[in-house]
Amino acid sequence: MATETLIPSSANRVLRVGILGFGTVGSGAYRMLKDNRDAIQRKVGFGMEVVRIGIRDIGKPRDLPSDLFTDDLESIVDDPSIDVILELIGGVDPAGRLVERALNNGKNVVTANKELMAKEGSRLVHLAKSKGLDLHYEAAVGGGIPIVQPLKHQLAGNDVLKMMGILNGTTNYILTKMSRENADFGDVLAEAQAKGYAESDPTNDIDGFDTTYKISILASIAFGKQVPVAGVYREGIRSITKEDIRYADVLGYVIKLLGIVEPLSADRLLVRVHPTLIPKGHQLASVSDVYNALWIHGDFVGDLMFSGRGAGSDPTASAVIGDLIDVGRNVAIGGQGSAIPWDMGIETEPIESLETEYYLRLRVKDKPKVLGQLAMIFGEFDVSLAAMEMRVVDAVAELGEIVFLTHKCNEGNFRKALAEVGKSDIVDRVCNWIRVEG
């Protein structure tokens, strides 16, 4: 069996590593181990040796010895000589089965798999804990931004009162580009795909699934209980137009796709993913292009911001190798693993219970008393209208466009009011509505 010692060691102990997946993240992790081997050795205290790399296409030419690779991934997690598995293939199957098998075989695991940890994290972390092993997953959220470890350790003494995150670089790039260039969503998406910032099938990003997995993981860590993916309200950015972005700018806001967590009680959370208007002065408002960020408000620490590149080979590899170094340090002292389990049993609230402000854009008949009639309809559902912008969009058809910001109100009531407004003969159509965070 071919092996390559990436970190020559003068000590007797060598940490033997198996890598599952050799795509963007896997190859980046391998390269970081090789390029930074001396610094890593000093920090761990002994060498690391990549023993096997699991791939799908065994026939694809590579620059490394061919017998280092195998398409038999089970043989890697079953190899008794391997100490640590880096799971970098993504998805739930076969990744979940392989991680579980590795843990049952006594191997520590480092994963970058957000979907797996969001859906199976509680079970797998409990398994690692029961075996006295490490299961680390910093790279699953935020790429190279250190978010997971601070939540598990440095911020563990705080009650998290709110979290808001820009957790997907593709959507942040699209919204930034639309804002800067007054461009349409479809055009910017096509450009993002051409540049490799968006997949050929962008559903996972633009419809909010990626952000949903990540905010579920962060909420599970912060509150110590698995937040079910099905309990996270989700909307994507397909409905956002350049008109909405322009109006938001006039009103003093920017539009971001946010993952948001708010505790309502000790065992009840409201977890949501959707486009959001945030004030230009908020720390998240200036996070642009493919950058990610997480804003946290803790009861003792106050406001914190973590920001950086949330994806890509090098940033994600940085998080993977950081976790691997932690595993190595724990092995060096004979530790029993540092997995911090999440329990089950948290309840998530429906989006209709949300209390917030709203942006609303309507196409209306350009006639007298329209504003008064709209205010009366909303008032019947305890929705109070605040700031307003209005312009004529079709003088011949006598149509105008009105943009409102509401005062804080209940979402269930707001939706009922919208339904009534949509039936009114003074409203041509409801163009869009977006939640607002102060």
- ∠ CA 48-84-94, nearest 5°, is 135
| Domain assignment of residue 403, yes or no | yes
Residue with tokens 């398994």: 127
Active-site annotation holds for 214:
yes
Q: Would 418 be classed as within a structural domain?
A: yes
- pLDDT (0 to 100) of residue 343: 83
Stated pTM of the model: 0.93
| Residue 341 resides in a domain | no
Structural domain including 90 reads: 4-143+313-332
243 assigned to some structural domain: yes
Using the predicted structure, report yes or no on whether residue 13 has a pLDDT greater than 60: yes
Q: In this structure, is residue 432 part of a structural domain?
A: yes
- Catalytic entry in 114, 214, 225, 256: 214
Number of alpha carbons in the 13 Å side-chain half-sphere of residue 112: 33
The pLDDT > 90 percentage for the chain reads: 78
Instruction: Tell me the torsion sign for CA atoms 90, 93, 99, 102.
Output: negative
Residue 366's CB is within 10 A of a number of other CB atoms, namely 20
Confidence of residue 395 (pLDDT cuts 50, 70, 90): low
Q: Rounded distance, CA 261 to CA 273, Å?
A: 9
Contacts of 49 (CB under 8 A, 6+ apart): 3, 4, 5, 6, 7, 14, 15, 16, 17
Residue 376 tokens read as 């009366």
Average pLDDT over residues 98-121: 97
Q: What is the DSSP letter of 310?
A: -
Nearest-Å Rg of the Cα atoms of the chain is 25
Are 280 and 170 part of one and the same domain? Answer: yes
Identify the CA nearest to 125 among candidates 213, 224, 263, 47.
224
Instruction: Note whether 380 and 409 are same-domain residues.
Output: yes
In a domain, 423, yes or no: yes
Do 289 and 403 fall within a single domain?
Answer: no
Both tokens of 379, joined, read: 């008032």
Give the containing element (helix H, strand E) for 178: helix 169-181
Return the pLDDT at 287: 97
> Does residue 322 sit within a domain?
yes
Domain count, the chain: 3
Q: Are residues 156 and 274 in the same domain?
A: yes
Q: Which of 234, 254, 226 is nearest to 346 (CA)?
A: 226
Pairing type for strands 84-87 and 14-20 reads parallel
214/196 Cα distance (integer angstroms): 21
> What is the per-residue burial (b if ≥16 Cβ within 10 Å, else e) of 135-171?
bbbbbbbbbbbebbbbbbeebeebebeebbbbbbbbb
- Are residues 299 and 390 located together in one domain of the fold? no
What's the mean per-residue pLDDT of the chain?
92
**Residue at a domain's end among 332, 367, 383:** 332
CA distance 349 to 353: 7
Read off the pLDDT of each residue in 408-431 and give the average, rounded to a whole number: 95
Q: Establish how many alpha carbons lie within 13 A of residue 50's alpha carbon, considering only the half-sphere containing its beta carbon.
A: 26
Q: Is the pLDDT of residue 187 over 90?
A: yes
Is the pLDDT reported for residue 430 higher than 50?
yes
Dihedral sign for Cα atoms in the order 329, 335, 340, 341: positive
Q: What is the mean pLDDT of residues 94-108?
A: 97
pLDDT surpassing 90 at residue 393? no
Domain boundary among 332, 366, 381: 332
Structure tokens at 290: 């493919």
pLDDT of the residue at 10: 42
Q: Is residue 180 located within the same domain as residue 82?
A: no
Whole-Å CA distances, 269 to 224, 264, 265, 303, 383: 12, 5, 7, 20, 24
Q: Are residues 35 and 53 in the same domain?
A: yes
CATH number for 387? 3.30.70.260
pLDDT of residue 9: 42
Same domain, 110 and 199: no
Where does 241-312 have alpha helices with state H?
A: 242-250
Is residue 139 domain-shared with residue 153, that is, in the same domain? Answer: no
DSSP labels, 324-354:
HHHHHHHHHTT--------BS--EE--GGG-
CATH number at residue 199: 3.30.360.10
pLDDT digits (tens, 9 = 90+) for 255-279: 999 999 999 987 899 999 999 999 9
Confidence of residue 12 (pLDDT cuts 50, 70, 90): low
Q: Which of 423, 424, 358 is nearest to 388 (CA)?
A: 358
What are the pLDDT digits (tens) for 44-89?
988 898 999 999 888 888 888 888 999 999 999 999 999 999 999 9
How far, in Å, CA of 228 to CA of 93, rounded?
18
CA distance 404 to 358: 8
| 174 and 294 fall within a common domain | yes
Same domain, 305 and 326: no
Considering 309, 341, 373, which residue would you say is the last residue of a domain? 309
User: Residue 254 in contact with residue 248, Cβ under 8 Å?
Assistant: yes
Please enumerate in sequence order all residues whose Cβ is within 8 A of that of 67, keeping only pairs 6 or more positions apart, or say none. 1, 2
* pLDDT for residue 388: 84
**Are residue 155 and residue 291 in the same domain, yes or no?**
yes
Report yes or no on 419 lying in a domain.
Answer: yes
Backbone angles phi and psi of 118, in degrees to 5: -70, -35
Query: Does the pLDDT value for residue 203 go beyond 90?
Result: yes
Measured between alpha carbons, how far is 92 from 305 in angstroms, rounded to an integer?
30
